[in-house]
Structure 1
Amino acid sequence: MKAVIIQTTCASKEEAQKIAKVLIEQKLAACVQLSQIESFYTWKDEFYCDNETLLNIKTRKANFEKIKSKILELHSYDLPEIIQLDITNASEEYLKFIKGNTI
């Protein structure tokens, strides 16, 4: 099993909590961490600085497409960030935790 972290950001903590809850309940993620962040970016030729909630979603690599679809279904942004980061090193115990809590 290959483990990954999938990241997305949300405009509100409530939206992030909703996505996290669905991913955990559907066993698509073993753990979802939420952090409050400040994002600087350009969108449609305008500069923005927004407070957002970052989701770090710990899961199996095989779940990326299902999680991407679920994020797109539940997300309020026109173009949400959905990126996958490979976990190249982790304790065997933590990898077992991810495997045991995801489908």
Structure 2
Amino acid sequence: MSPQKTYEEINSYVVFWGLFFSVLFALAVGYLCLKIGQTVDAFAPVSVLAMGMAVLFHRKNAFPETVHIQSIASAGTNIIGGAMFILPALYILNIEDVSFIE
């Protein structure tokens, strides 16, 4: 990558694959959490899959696009992983009046 050139890093390709991998790995994290009570982060497998998709589709800006795809997917799996542990804790503690909107 040349420092003199401007690269388009966020486009519909990045958002589509980021959301696709986010949903796919969020389902996997949810299943693992319910099955064995442990979650994993998706940054490593999504990075490998995103780079594989870039090679398969002959993308020119593969590296910055892969970084953003991985960021979107990792955020989705972190949210579901956190929710899978926080919501049961609120139930166990009998916290009934939890309101995030006043």
Confirm or deny a common fold (TM above 0.5): no
Question: Which has the higher relative contact order, 1 or 2, with Cα contacts under 8 A spaced 6 or more apart?
Answer: 1
Greater radius of gyration (CA) = 2
Give the strand-richer structure, 1 or 2: 1
Structure-1-length-normalised TM-score: 0.31
Give the helix-richer structure, 1 or 2: 2
